[in-house]
Chains A and B, each alone.
Chain A
Amino acid sequence: MGLEPAGGVGENMRIAVASGKGGTGKTTVSTSLALCAPGPVQYLDCDVEEPNGHIFLNPEFSVAEHCEVTIPRIVEAKCTYCGKCRDICRFRAITMFGKTIMSFPELCHSCRGCFLVCEDEAIAEDKREIGLLEAGQAGEINFVHGRTRVGEAMSVPLIKAVKKKAWKDGLVILDAPPGTSCPFVETVNDVDFVLLVTEPTPFGLHDLKLAVEVLLNFKKPCGVLVNRADLGDDRVDTWCRESGIPILLKIPFERGIAEGYAKGRNLVESQPDLRKPLENLLREICS
């Protein structure tokens, strides 16, 4: 499908840009890093609840795929009301009272338990759409993102679908969802490096600590980028030093960056002198 890099050799590297706390500049940083890549690069927006990377990269999409999960449809004509499907489902997605059996697709986690346990072929496969995946090009950058349907609680299958598009070789940059729960873990679990974007405030530090805790749990190398570095105090610095987490770059607050960001311009556009430091950052991570 033309998603592999055109024979170019980039560094073989998957870098996730994450933040714990939202709104620290994760998306501007990740899109700018993609723009500063020396060779072919792929950008995956895994923040599927609120994908914003496209605002900064303006991709042209050539692929649109509906992301679906498998759910049961009960074929009442064949059902003997044995109740096995209800009993195996730990998510209470199937209920039965007397000879009424019902499934609740929103609660289904697609574990296939009910399919496997039904001996009467009374459970057929149905699909439920949870979101849309789109892929295309943003200049030199291969771009993929997912967008959950509004009202959809399940995002992990869509993140998995986005990640399935990841290049096997070359440089891949992933924009991770905020927080530290399952969508975040799903995004970072198999990357080579996580760049944590934070700001020097108590909220920033608190959420940074949580993110670092998860990453250390599964021994994932990580480093920190401090954004709006002069708008706060030095507790992030101190904590990083004491915990042995490297601070790789600091970006000061500039009204120009904030105003550019507001208009959907990323860091390197609003502040061209950030290109060198970002290129160096990328090189340092890849080395």
Chain B
Amino acid sequence: MKEIVVLSGKGGTGKTTMLGSLAFLAENKIIADCDVDAADLHLLLAPRPGSENKFVSGVKARVIEDQCSGCGTCDLCQFEAVTLAETATIDSLACEGCGVCAYFCPEDAIVLDENHCGTWFISDTDYGPLVHAQLFAGEENSGKLVSFVKSKARELAEETGAGLILVDGAPGIGCPVIASLSNTDIILAITEPTQSGWHDLERVLDLADHFKVQAFVCLNKWDLNPEMATEIKHSCQDREVEFLGEIPFDPAVVSCQINGIPVVGNDDEGSAALAIRGIWNKLKNRL
């Protein structure tokens, strides 16, 4: 079984659009949306409602007011989550769930509640099964939820005999992205020819080196800045990262998004669709 993660570093460079199209083109696969912080893939793949489950991870501390003597021991919290007045109160957004306050409270006035911090789904789409999730707003366990979504996708792939898992990664290069890289065979990095896009691509490629995952690069909207597109291609060459292709700016991409369909596989495939097909043909031979 192979696994491809699509990453971009910088947001908004066409990561989800790319993944939606790969979902159309690839056969016998499971799709996993690991951008759990802002999961958008379902907007393109129109999943039919399937199973919906709670995601519980970590704990949050809560003060039982009646038992609190206001002694202030819990002020040892390193995360500025504790406010002291008559009794202590805990800001659950700031609480990291370390449990240190509860451990040291002489009155046993602090309890640790399980933290229900998101929802995960397995849904069916026209393109295959989709595992996706939504972390509740402001939560901090995105890495854990990503690992969870990936493990579910893997189970499902084993059950159904799917040969491929397609993963939509998160923007950035932090905790959720790192979590999405475990057991991955290939990173497909998609960026655009802008200073920011390039800067962030370099960071993604550094990350790929750091975790020793093979990376491929493609460029979206390359014609907005052909000179920089060329420079980015050269820099890929210098790093010995294979460049798989470039996608032109194509207004059809926005209209497909508005209609909630992948860019490839609709009646009037334009220049972007063609380019994406080309990238996929190369990528699948590298698997």
Q: Which residues of A come within 8 Å of B, CB atoms?
A: 19-24, 27, 47, 49-50, 52, 55, 88, 90-91, 109-113, 116-117, 148, 150-156, 177-185, 189, 201-203, 206-207, 210, 213-214, 217-218, 231-233, 255, 258-259, 261-264
Contacts and interface: CB of A to CB of B under 8 A. Distances in A.
B263 to A, nearest CB: 13
Contacts of B258: 201-202, 232-233
A113 B103 CA distance: 9
Contacts of B171: 22-23, 50, 178-179
B78 interface: yes
Contacts of B194: 261-264
A50 B172 contact: yes
Contacts of A20: 38
22 contacts: A24-B11, A50-B196, A50-B200, A52-B196, A55-B195, A55-B199, A88-B99, A90-B98, A117-B103, A151-B207, A153-B178, A178-B11, A178-B172, A181-B135, A181-B176, A202-B260, A203-B40, A207-B38, A210-B38, A259-B224, A261-B194, A264-B196
Interface of B: 8-13, 16, 37-38, 40, 43, 58-59, 76, 78-79, 93-94, 96-100, 103-104, 135, 137-140, 142-143, 170-176, 178-179, 192-196, 199-200, 203, 206-207, 210-211, 224-225, 228, 251, 254, 257-258, 260
Contacts of A21: 11-12, 38, 40
Contact of A116 (B13, B76, B138): B76
A49 B174 contact: yes
A7 to B, nearest CB: 31
Nearest to B97: A90
B98 A217 contact: no
B98 A206 contact: no
A201 B257 contact: yes
A262 B228 contact: yes
Contact of A22 (B11, B104, B254): B11
A157 B103 CA distance: 24
Most chain B beta carbons < 10 A, residue from A88, A90, A154, A213:
A90
A110 B78 contact: yes
Interface secondary structure of B, over-half rule: loop
Contact of A109 (B98, B104, B176, B192): B98
Nearest to A218: B93
Nearest to A25: B12
The 5 closest A-B CB pairs, nearest first, are A22-B11, A23-B12, A111-B98, A49-B172, A179-B37
Nearest to A148: B174
B202 to A, nearest CB: 9
Contacts of A52: 10, 195-196, 199-200
Contacts of A232: 254, 258
A23 B170 CA distance: 13
A55 B197 CA distance: 11
A203 B16 contact: yes
A182 B140 contact: yes
A217 B93 CA distance: 11
A180 B96 contact: no
A180 B98 CA distance: 22
Given A52-B200, A179-B38, 5 more contacts: A52-B199, A150-B206, A151-B207, A180-B137, A261-B194
Given A27-B196, A148-B173, A153-B174, A113 B38 contact: no
Contacts of A181: 37, 135, 138-140, 142, 176
B99 A113 contact: yes
A202 to B, nearest CB: 5
Contacts of A117: 103
A261 B228 CA distance: 12
Contacts of B104: 116
A111 to B, nearest CB: 3
Contacts of B200: 50, 52
A231 B257 CA distance: 11
Given A178-B38, A217-B138, A88 B100 contact: yes
Contacts of A214: 137-138
Given A50-B172, A207-B38, A263-B195, A185 B138 contact: yes
Contact of B12 (A22, A49, A210, A217): A22
B268 to A, nearest CB: 18
